[in-house]
């Protein structure tokens, strides 16, 4: 499913655009019938209902867009934080005796390679999960190796430097996993689409007094709203859509380049 998410999202955006146009036309036809049956009171009280619907629609669009953008920034910041945590732990290996460092440094290189490979595998979720599982296994090996070196008489002084850094490096992976899986409840998006379609019907109804279709307004309304919903959903999944976090991963690649 996720392999085709980008294409599915584009297709859904186009479908939403067409459905919104259809709802505008339905509202316009309903308005024509109402005007023909009762031209004097056809618009009575409509402004109040339209105002309530469009106000709620605007609030929901603002809420979902703001939340999606905030989560995008949060996920981006976590990539930088992970790079900092790994870099700090890497540097603190210097506190161990020289003879104890090579094995731990090799594990660090393997670990960062595994993390990068896991995120590069998107949108293939099976490969991502396998890559993360491999990285978690390397985490355990790094911790075991570090503990063994710190418990040696020569490495005891490095314990307070290395172990907290390793804890931070390990903890950030859980935070990033939770961040990647944090999204609003599906009912929020269902409500957003329903309000959009109801709003389109009401907008079409309001256009009924015009003798001909106002294609400019109809197309602009459908395009703006469908693109807005598309961008919101794309922000929620920045590893599989058009809006990507891949460029931020460069900080991890740069860190890997320093691990000579």
pLDDT tens, position by position, 191-228: 999 999 999 999 998 888 888 888 999 999 999 999 99
pLDDT at residue 38 is higher than 90: no
Query: Which of the four pLDDT bands, split at 50, 70 and 90, describes residue 6?
Result: low
Please tell me the predicted confidence (pLDDT) of residue 136. Answer: 94
Least confident of 37-41, 100-104, 219-223: 37-41
Please tell me the predicted confidence (pLDDT) of residue 44. Answer: 66
Please tell me the predicted confidence (pLDDT) of residue 243. Answer: 82
The structure tokens 């269902």 sit at: 190
pLDDT at residue 2 is higher than 50: no
Q: How is residue 16 written in tokens?
A: 């939403």
Mean confidence (pLDDT) of the chain: 89
Please tell me the predicted confidence (pLDDT) of residue 237. Answer: 86
Query: Which of the four pLDDT bands, split at 50, 70 and 90, describes residue 47?
Result: confident
The structure tokens 């939770």 sit at: 178
Phi, psi of 131 (to 5 degrees): -65, -40
d(CA 259, CA 256): 5
pLDDT at residue 101 is higher than 70: yes
**pTM attached to this predicted model:** 0.84
Closest CA to 64 of 178, 201, 230, 199: 230
Q: What percent of the chain has pLDDT over 90?
A: 63
Q: Would you mind telling me the total number of residues written for the chain in this entry?
A: 260
Q: Taking a C-beta distance cutoff of 8 angstroms, is the pair 28, 205 a contact?
A: yes
DSSP string, 187-211: HHHHHHHHHHHHHHHHHHHHTTTSS
Which residues lie below 8 Å from residue 7, measured CB to CB, with a gap of 6+? none
Query: Which of the four pLDDT bands, split at 50, 70 and 90, describes residue 33?
Result: confident
pLDDT at residue 1 is higher than 50: no
Please tell me the predicted confidence (pLDDT) of residue 20. Answer: 96
């Amino acid at each position: 499913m996720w392999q085709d998410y980008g294409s599915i999202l584009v297709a859904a955006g186009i479908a939403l655009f067409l459905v919104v146009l259809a709802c505008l036309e339905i509202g316009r036809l309903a308005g024509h019938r109402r005007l023909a049956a009762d031209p004097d009171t056809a618009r009575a009280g409509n402004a109040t209902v339209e105002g309530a619907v469009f106000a709620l629609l605007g609030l929901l669009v603002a809420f979902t867009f703001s939340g999606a953008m905030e989560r995008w920034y949060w996920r981006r910041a976590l990539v930088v934080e992970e790079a900092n945590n790994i870099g700090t732990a890497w540097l603190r290996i210097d506190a161990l005796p020289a003879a104890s460092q090579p094995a731990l440094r090799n594990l660090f290189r393997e670990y960062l390679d595994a993390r990068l490979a896991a995120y590069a595998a998107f949108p293939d979720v099976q490969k991502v999960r396998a890559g993360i599982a491999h990285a978690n296994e390397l985490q355990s090996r790094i911790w075991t190796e570090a503990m063994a070196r710190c418990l040696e008489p020569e490495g005891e002084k490095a314990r307070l430097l290395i172990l907290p850094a390793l804890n931070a490096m390990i903890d950030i992976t859980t935070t990033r996993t939770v961040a990647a899986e944090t999204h609003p409840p599906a009912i929020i998006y269902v409500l957003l689409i329903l309000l959009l379609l109801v709003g389109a019907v009401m907008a079409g109804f309001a256009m009924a007094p015009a003798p001909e279709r106002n294609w400019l307004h109809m197309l602009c309304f459908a395009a703006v709203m469908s693109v807005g919903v598309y961008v919101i959903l794309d922000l929620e999944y920045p590893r599989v859509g058009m809006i990507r976090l891949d460029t931020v991963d460069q900080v991890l690649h740069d860190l890997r380049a320093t691990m000579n």
